[in-house]
Amino acid sequence: MAQIPLAERMRPQNLADIAGQEAMLGQGKALANTLKQGKLQSLLFWGPPGVGKTTLARLIARDLDAHFVMLSAVKAGVKDVREIAEEAKNRLQISGQNTILFLDEIHRFNKAQQDLLLPYVEDGTLYLIGATTENPSFEVNSALRSRMQLYVLKSLSVEALEEILERAIKDPRGLNNEVVVEPEALRALANWADGDARRALSALELVASQGDRQISLPVLEKALSVKSLAFDKGGEHFYNLMSALHKSVRGSQPDAALYWLARLLGGGAEPLYVARRIVRMASEDIGLADPNALRLAIAAKESVDFLGQGEGELALAQAVVYLALAPKSNAVYQAWKKARADAERYSSAEVPLHLRNAPTSMMQSLGYGKTYAYYFDDPSGSLAQRYFPETMAEARYYEAQSEGWDRKVGDRLNELEVARKEARKKR
C-alpha cells in the first residue's frame, strides 16, 4: 500500500489544531460561537489553496455528528447531487442524522448546477459547505449565496506555517523526529510555501525523503532545486531586492528593473507576489499619467496565474519595462492618502440629504434626495451642489502632475473648477 502523503496524515484532528484562522475560530468569534452552540447551517469558505477549507468542513461535520459527503465541482454533476440528496433524505427519515455536502471549488458549477442545490438547502435535506478560491460575489449565484454564511479564510502566516511544520516533524503521524530542520531552513521553507500548508508539508516530505537527517538551508535549496531560498518573504534581503525593483521602475530605468526582477525570480520569489507588487507600482507611481499601465500590470499578473512560473515570467518582464518607460505621476497615491486621513478624521460625518437615495415614501418624506440636481437634466445645478458632508470643508485632494495623460487631467480639473464657481454664482 502506498504511503499516505504527509499533508494528509497531518490534517488537524480537532478545531483547536487548525492554525492561522483565529479570526474565525478564536474564542468568541462568529464561527466558533455557532459551532459551540451545535448549530448546523450552510457555509461558504472563501480563501486561497492550502489554508484548511476541507479540513474545517470535515471537523464541523464530525463535531456536529453529521454525515459528511465530499464532492469536487470539477468532476461532479447534476446526477451526483441528486443521488446524494436522495440518500440524505432517507438518512434523515430513518436515523435522524443530517448530511453535510462539502462541495470543493463550488465556483466550477454553472448557474443551473448551483440552482439545483437551492431546494435541498432550503428544506434542510442537505447542509451545504462550499469552498472556493474565487470571489463568491462573482462566481456563486446570489440566491445560493444568500442562504450560506460566508467566511473568509486567510493565507497562512509564516508563523502559522512554522507551527504546522514543527508539528509534522515531531508528531508520530508525521516524521516522528526522524529529521532535524535547522531554524533558518524552517523559516525559509515557511516563506517559500507562500501561505499554503499543503505546499509546505509536501516540500518537507520531499526534503526528508532525500536521506539527510540534518536539514540545513543548503540541503533544502538543493532538494527543492531553488536558489537563495533564504531571501524569501520575511527576510530583509528579499525586501531589499523588491525595493530595488520598485525604485528602478519609479526612476525610469528599465534595464536595472529587469536585473532586479531576474534576481527576485531566479532566487525563488513567488511570481504572483511579485506580480501583485508590480500592480501596486502601476497605481502608486504612474497612475493617470498612463492609465494603460495598470491594465498591463494586471494582464501580466493574470498571465502568470494562467501560464505558471516559467512561461509567465516574460509577462512580468514586459510589464516592468513598460512601467519603467511610462510617464510618472503619484497624484492618485497622494490624493488617496489625504482622502483616507479625512475619512478617519470625519468618520461620523453624515451624508447630505440630497445625496441619499429615497427608495421608500418614508425616506422621501424625510427629504432624502429632494434637492438633488441630476447632471444630465441640470448640469449647472449638479456642479453647484455640495458633495462633501456639511461638517467638513470641501477638500481638493487630487493635484494633477505634468507628465503624460495626467496633464490632460489637470486641464479638466481646472475647467471643472471654473465651471463650478460660475454655477455657484448663479444660485
DSSP 369-399: TTT---TTT-HHHHHHS--S-TTS-------
Q: How far apart are CA 368 and CA 359, in angstroms?
A: 9
Using CA atoms, how far residue 166 sits from 19, 55, 211, 362, in Å, is: 12, 19, 18, 61
Q: How far apart are CA 67 and CA 91, in angstroms?
A: 9
Mean pLDDT across 300-322 = 90
Look at residue 236 in the predicted model and tell me its pLDDT: 56
Residues of the chain with pLDDT > 90: what percent? Answer: 63
Residue 233, pLDDT > 80, answer no
Q: How far apart are CA 261 and CA 255, in angstroms?
A: 10
More confident residue, 316 or 270: 316
pLDDT digits (tens, 9 = 90+) for 262-272: 988 887 788 88
Look at residue 2 in the predicted model and tell me its pLDDT: 44
pLDDT digits (tens, 9 = 90+) for 45-68: 998 888 999 999 999 999 999 999
231 confidence band (pLDDT: 50, 70, 90): low
Under 8 Å between Cβ of 263 and 317: no
Residue 34, pLDDT > 90, answer no
Residue 1, pLDDT > 70, answer no
pLDDT digits (tens, 9 = 90+) for 69-110: 999 998 888 999 999 999 999 999 999 999 999 999 999 999
Q: How far apart are CA 374 and CA 358, in angstroms?
A: 14
Q: How far apart are CA 300 and CA 318, in angstroms?
A: 8
Q: How far apart are CA 179 and CA 6, in angstroms?
A: 14
Q: How many CB atoms within 10 Å of residue 203?
A: 22
Phi, psi of 111 (to 5 degrees): -60, -45
pLDDT digits (tens, 9 = 90+) for 182-198: 999 999 899 888 788 99
Q: How far apart are CA 257 and CA 277, in angstroms?
A: 13
Most confident of 15-19, 229-233, 420-424: 420-424
Q: Which distant-in-sequence residues (6+ apart) come within 8 Å of 63 by Cβ?
A: 15, 35
CA angle at 30 for the pair 24 and 35, rounded to the nearest 5° = 90
Phi, psi of 152 (to 5 degrees): -100, 120
pLDDT digits (tens, 9 = 90+) for 142-156: 899 999 999 988 888
Name the CA dihedral angle for 129, 166, 3, 215, rounded to a multiple of 10 degrees: 140
Residue 21, pLDDT > 80, answer yes
pTM above 0.75, yes or no: no
261: left (phi over 0), alpha (psi -120 to 50) or beta: alpha
Using CA atoms, how far residue 86 sits from 57, 62, 80, 82, 90, in Å, is: 21, 21, 10, 6, 6
Helices (H), 282-326: 292-307, 309-325
pLDDT digits (tens, 9 = 90+) for 242-278: 999 999 999 999 999 999 999 888 877 888 889 999 9
What length is written for the chain? 427
Listed range (20-24, 217-221, 376-380, 407-411) with the worst mean pLDDT: 20-24
Burial 2-39 (b: 16+ CB within 10 A, else e): eeeebbebbbbeebeebbbbeebbeeeeebeebbeeee
389 confidence band (pLDDT: 50, 70, 90): very high
351 confidence band (pLDDT: 50, 70, 90): very high
Helix (H) or strand (E) holding 46: strand 43-46
Residue 232, pLDDT > 70, answer no
Residue 210, pLDDT > 90, answer no
Mean pLDDT across 197-223 = 90
Residue 405, pLDDT > 50, answer yes
Look at residue 235 in the predicted model and tell me its pLDDT: 55
CA atoms within 13 A on the CB side of 381: 9
Residues of the chain with pLDDT > 70: what percent? Answer: 97
Checking DSSP bridges between strand 180-181 and strand 149-152, what pairing results, if any? unpaired
Q: Residue 251: name the closest of 273, 281, 272, 277 by CA.
A: 281
Domains, the chain, ordered by start:
21-152 (3.40.50.300), 158-229 (1.10.8.60), 236-325 (1.20.272.10), 343-425 (no CATH)
239 confidence band (pLDDT: 50, 70, 90): confident
Mean pLDDT across 347-362 = 90
Q: Which distant-in-sequence residues (6+ apart) come within 8 Å of 271 by Cβ?
A: 265, 304, 309, 312, 313, 316
Under 8 Å between Cβ of 114 and 42: no
Q: Residue 208: name the closest of 187, 232, 224 by CA.
A: 224
Cell of 397: 485632494
Helix (H) or strand (E) holding 183: helix 183-192
Query: Across all residues in the chain, what is the average pLDDT?
Result: 90
